[in-house]
Amino acid sequence: MKKNGVREIARLANVSIGTVDRALHGRRGISDSTRDRILAIAENLGYKPNLAARALSVQERAVRIAICIPREIHFYFDQLRQGMLAEARSFEHLGIETVYRPTPRLGIDELATVTELVRKGDINALIIAPGNPESLSSVIDEAEKGGIRVVCVDTDAPQSSRSTVVCVDGAVSGMLAGELLGRFLEPGACVAVATGMLAAEDHRKKVDGFCRTFPQVCPNGRVVEVIEDKEDHDIAFEKSFGVFTRCKDLKGIYVSTGNCLPVFRALNVCGLAGKIKVVATELFAEMLPYFKNGTIFASITGRARAQGQVAMRLAIDYFLHGNPLPPRHLLVPHIAMRSNLHLFPEVRSSMMGVRNW
Amino acid sequence: MKKNGVREIARLANVSIGTVDRALHGRRGISDSTRDRILAIAENLGYKPNLAARALSVQERAVRIAICIPREIHFYFDQLRQGMLAEARSFEHLGIETVYRPTPRLGIDELATVTELVRKGDINALIIAPGNPESLSSVIDEAEKGGIRVVCVDTDAPQSSRSTVVCVDGAVSGMLAGELLGRFLEPGACVAVATGMLAAEDHRKKVDGFCRTFPQVCPNGRVVEVIEDKEDHDIAFEKSFGVFTRCKDLKGIYVSTGNCLPVFRALNVCGLAGKIKVVATELFAEMLPYFKNGTIFASITGRARAQGQVAMRLAIDYFLHGNPLPPRHLLVPHIAMRSNLHLFPEVRSSMMGVRNW
DNA sequence: TTGTAAGCGTTATCAC
DNA sequence: GTGATAACGCTTACAA
């Protein structure tokens, strides 16, 4: 392999490498004629700069990307973190560094943690899953003003000036659930929705999307109850148990909260497993039995790992290649059903060796 | 930012950088004591080698990855290529080079093209969408024996010794279609399947997956016809028209071929649009009207772009980080329905400005 | 306008 | 065993 670098170009053009550099980078202080001549030679030679040498020479400062998401054992954020760190690792050769500053739980201590990260001023980007978007707005604005690109993940902070957000649109999840359940059920069917807390934007959007879509798909279909469990196991069980006993003609339910197990238990207790068709959200090992026994027909997942990966990648491509950050990046939610369950890493390990899938 | 490289370590250890190098790389010709001392200092200093400098020094040859897929305007391979090239571009800093050697059409000239690429011997990896897997087996084996990692994409070449394959399992697509249609229809429903050519493994797997799953999900459900259109528009129309007129109690159809439009036209002609429930495969702009008018209930897509991206990434991570190649990487197929249609790049541009989605 | 030379941090090749 | 010193290909002062 012959070497063709600035030196070779210089030799062929009978100039010095300094002149070649000026020509190649369109710097001033060079006559048009020599520049054109040099560029022609470079082109002709198929010159491609050695980027390792360039990196070494210009000594570009490492890009530091901070991650601030809940530490919660909750599998969701674990996946999110894994996606980010795995992606970052592939680019550490190029000077991508991560700073992992988890909060103890969603929303807890996040303002303090973020503020500290931003004020310290040694990071280039901040990826955050905001638990309380409103309370973070001002510090996010401060960060952006200070040149720190803020990437929201999972949840948006729409009032802030964050650079971008990577998420699954809750409305789409809800609409998909509505469309599926609407197709699964006969016209005129009554359904219910179980949610966490309607105060949370994502939960509200899911419920809204569902309630809007279901009647469109299922003629005369009606959403007769919205159960709000406040993320509490007991409330979830009691309220759903109440609905199942009260509402005798209930045909389906959209369980739009991760706190779904109590609802399924209530179904089992009422002997309605498989009778009332369930579309759920997210996916974790404990849900497997309910897929198996036919309680859950489908579940719409938020693709935490993919979200983390994309968020990190957007930040990296922004700094490394100057790719602009899109206002938002919406992922296509995945629909988990019995047929494709084995493809989801969230549950694959739990399915090992289990027959009859 | 303080500089801590081999030089700094050498200074602190009162040795030369040569000795530091010997210690760091476990080379021979150094006493245990000094090595340990140096390693301790390095550790303490949090020494991280500058990989740009290393690359420059060892002058590692660029990794060349060849891409051999059909050039076909067919949107699918376009997406596949885009995914690969976009991914490769992000790593060109690290010496990833691509060689794009398209074939005129699926299967056409591919043996010659691949053979030439392999014999030329200047590539490290080959990503290929095999049209005739069997005929390629020997040249793939030759490539692998010669140290070229072969990555199949979209379709496997199972008899060969290819390193890995990235694809959507046709069986899963078919099973998902069966599960969906089985849930959409009432017990005892009769359905049909339209496919391209059963000789193609992917098509066969889709049909098999569907036929196996549908009756499991839909009690007493039956697959009454399998239409094989040989990828021909007219055959597709005539055969499906025949089935629709002949089989009066047909309730659903799984159109498992990209050549789906003739089938939809036949449905329209028979006035059965929306009456016979359709699950399709893949997604392109011309299918939009059939989603809109309620002909297509869902379509299961092969995620060409994601496949290309993952295939390229696996190859890159193999060379750059020594990550082992998994025997295969199965992607979760996407299910396109009205609610999430706007998230698919394949059709988004065609939906611009169109109301009522 | 052009040329020269000194780095960037690592690896490799000598000589001691 | 160890220590100098020369690449690697590019950028960038500074000199001409």
pLDDT, mean of residues B210-228: 96
- Could you tell me the strand order of the sheet in which A250-255 lies? A222-228, A190-195, A250-255, A277-281, A296-301, A334-336
Using the predicted structure, report yes or no on whether residue B1 has a pLDDT greater than 50. no
**Reduced 3-state DSSP string for A41-110:** HHHHHCCCCCHHHHHHHHCCCCEEEEEECECCCCHHHHHHHHHHHHHHHCCHHHCEEEEECCECCCCCCH
* 8 Å CB contact between A179 and B277: no
Comparing every residue's Cα with the C1' atom of nucleotide D11, the nearest one is A57
Cα–Cα distance measured from residue B17 to residue B13, given in angstroms and rounded to the nearest whole number: 10
Q: Name every residue whose Cβ is closer than 8 Å to that of residue A318 and which is 6 or more positions away in sequence.
A: A125, A149, A163, A324, A325
Token duo for residue A290: 């309910």
Q: What angle do CA A159, A161, A166 make, to 5 degrees?
A: 85
The CA distance from A187 to A222, in Å, is 10
Task: Considering only CA atoms, name the residue closest to the C1' of nucleotide C6.
Answer: A57
Query: Which tokens sit at B202?
Result: 């992917």
Chain B residues touching A297 at Cβ < 8 A: 183
Can you tell me the distance from the alpha carbon of B148 to that of B164, in angstroms, rounded to the nearest whole number? Answer: 12
Give the residue among B203, B264, B265 at the shortest CA–CA distance from B230.
B203
Bigger pLDDT: B138 or B52?
B138
CB B340 to CB A180 under 8 A? Answer: no
Using CA atoms, how far apart are residues B74 and B257, in angstroms rounded to an integer?
Answer: 14
Residue type, B35: R
Among chain B, residues having any CB pair with chain A shorter than 8 Å are 1, 50-53, 55-56, 61, 89-90, 92-95, 169, 172, 175-176, 178-180, 183-184, 186, 209, 213, 297, 316-317, 320-321, 330-335, 337-340, 343-344
Amino acid identity, residue B73?
A: I
- Mention every residue, 6+ apart, whose C-beta is less than 8 A from residue B199: none
Residue B274 CB coordination number (10 Å): 15
d(CA B329, nearest CA chain A) in Å: 10
Q: List all residues 6 or more positions away from B159 whose beta carbon is below 8 Å from its beta carbon.
A: B133, B134, B137
Q: Which of A90, A209, A340 sits opposite B332 (nearest CB)?
A: A340
Length of chain A (residues): 357
CA of A122 to C1' of D9 (A): 31
Of B1, B53, B176, the CB nearest to A340: B176
Going by pLDDT thresholds of 50, 70 and 90, the confidence category of residue B353 is: low
d(Cα A179, Cα A192) in Å, to the nearest integer? Answer: 14
Could you give the CA distance from residue B217 to residue B225 in angstroms, rounded to a whole number?
Answer: 18
Residue B151 has pLDDT above 80, yes or no: yes
Angle between helices A75-89 and A304-321 (to 10 degrees): 30
Contact at 8 Å (CB) between A291 and A338? yes
Distances (CA, A) of A44 to A12, B43, B133: 11, 47, 39
Please tell me the predicted confidence (pLDDT) of residue A281: 95
Q: Which residues of A173-188 are buried (b: 16+ CB within 10 A; e: fewer)?
A: bbbbbbbbbbbbbeee
Residues 5-24 of chain B within 7 A of strand D, judged by CB, are: 14-19, 22
Name the residue of chain B whose CA is nearest to A92's CA.
Answer: B51
With 0-12 / 13-18 / 19 or more C-beta atoms within 10 angstroms meaning exposed / middle / buried, residue A315 is: buried
User: B297 contacts in A (CB within 8 Å)?
Assistant: 183
Find where tokens 């059920």 sit: A185
Q: B90 or B219: which carries more pLDDT confidence?
A: B219
Taking the C-alpha atoms of residue A144 and residue A148, their distance in angstroms, rounded to an integer, is 5
* Residue B121, CB, strand C, below 7 Å: no
Distance CA B208, CA B79 (A): 27
Protein residue minimizing CA–C1' distance to C5 = A18
Q: Which residues of A touch B93 (CB under 8 A)?
A: 51, 55, 94, 320
Q: What is the pLDDT along chain A (357 residues), one digit of tens a residue?
A: 457 788 888 988 888 888 998 988 888 888 888 888 888 888 888 888 887 888 888 777 778 999 999 997 668 899 999 999 999 988 877 778 899 999 998 888 999 999 999 999 889 999 999 999 999 999 999 999 999 999 999 999 999 999 999 999 999 999 999 999 999 999 999 999 999 989 888 999 999 999 999 999 999 999 999 999 998 999 999 999 999 999 999 999 999 999 999 999 999 999 999 999 999 999 999 999 999 999 999 999 999 999 999 999 999 999 888 889 999 999 999 999 999 999 998 888 777 765 554
Of the pLDDT bands very low, low, confident and very high (cuts 50, 70, 90), residue B354 is low
Asked if B32 CB < 7 A from strand D, the reply is no
Alpha-helical segments (H) within chain B: 6-13, 17-24, 32-45, 51-58, 75-89, 110-120, 133-145, 170-184, 201-217, 233-246, 261-269, 288-292, 304-321, 345-351
What average pLDDT does range B339-348 have in this prediction? 91
DSSP per-residue string spanning B124-174: SEEEE--SSHHHHHHHHHHHHHTTPEEEEESS--TTS--SEEEE--HHHHH
| Residue A148 amino acid letter | I
Beta-bridged to residue B165, according to DSSP, are: B152
> Closest to B93 (Cβ–Cβ): which among A94, A175, A337?
A94
Residue of B nearest to A91 (CA): B91
A304 touches strand D (CB under 7 A): no
**Cα–Cα distance between B19 and B36 in angstroms, integer?**
12
Reference A192, options A221, A223, A213, A219; nearest CA is A223
Judge if the beta carbon of B31 is closer than 7 A to nucleic acid strand D.
yes
Mean pLDDT across B49-69: 84
Pairwise CB contact (< 8 Å): B176 & A343: no
Single-letter amino acid code for the residue at A41: I
Alpha-carbon distance of B7 to B18, in angstroms, equals: 10
The residues, any chain, with a CB within 8 Å of residue B80's CB and separated by 6 or more, are: B69, B129, B153, B154, B304, B305, B307, B308
Return the DSSP state at A148. Answer: P
Strand order in the sheet with A164-167: A96-100, A63-68, A125-128, A149-153, A164-167, A329-330
Task: Answer yes or no: do A183 and B183 touch at CB < 8 A.
Answer: yes
Q: What are phi and psi of B84, to 5 degrees?
A: -65, -50
CA to C1' distance (Å), from A191 to C15: 86
Computed on alpha carbons and rounded to an integer, the radius of gyration of chain A in Å comes to: 27
Strand D: which positions are within 7 A of a protein CB? 1-14
B92 to chain A: which residues are within 8 Å by CB? 51
Interface test with A, best of B339, B342, B356 (most A CBs within 10 A): B339
CB A86 within 8 A of CB A109: no
Please indicate whether, in this complex, the C-beta atoms of B176 and A317 are within 8 angstroms of each other: no
Name the average pLDDT for chain B: 91
**Pairing mode of beta strands B334-336, B296-301:** antiparallel
Q: Taking CB atoms and an 8 Å cutoff, what residues of chain A touch B321? A: 89-90
- Which of B129, B168, B152 shows the shortest CA–CA distance to B299? B168
What average pLDDT does range B152-174 have in this prediction? 96
Least confident of A75-79, B148-152, B346-350: B346-350
CB contact under 8 A, A53 and B56: yes
Q: What is the model's pLDDT at position B32?
A: 87
Cβ pair A209:B1 closer than 8 A? no
Gap from A265 CA to chain B (nearest CA, Å): 23
Res A1: pLDDT: 47
Among partner residues B52, B93, B339, which is closest to A175 by beta-carbon distance?
B339
What is the SS3 assignment for B50? coil
Token look-up 């802030």 returns A160
- Is the Cα dihedral B70, B71, B74, B79 positive or negative? positive
Q: How many CB pairs under 8 A join A and B?
A: 93
Measured CA distances, B340 to A117, A171, B324, B357 (Å)? 36, 10, 35, 10
In whole angstroms, D12 C1' to B237 CA is 69
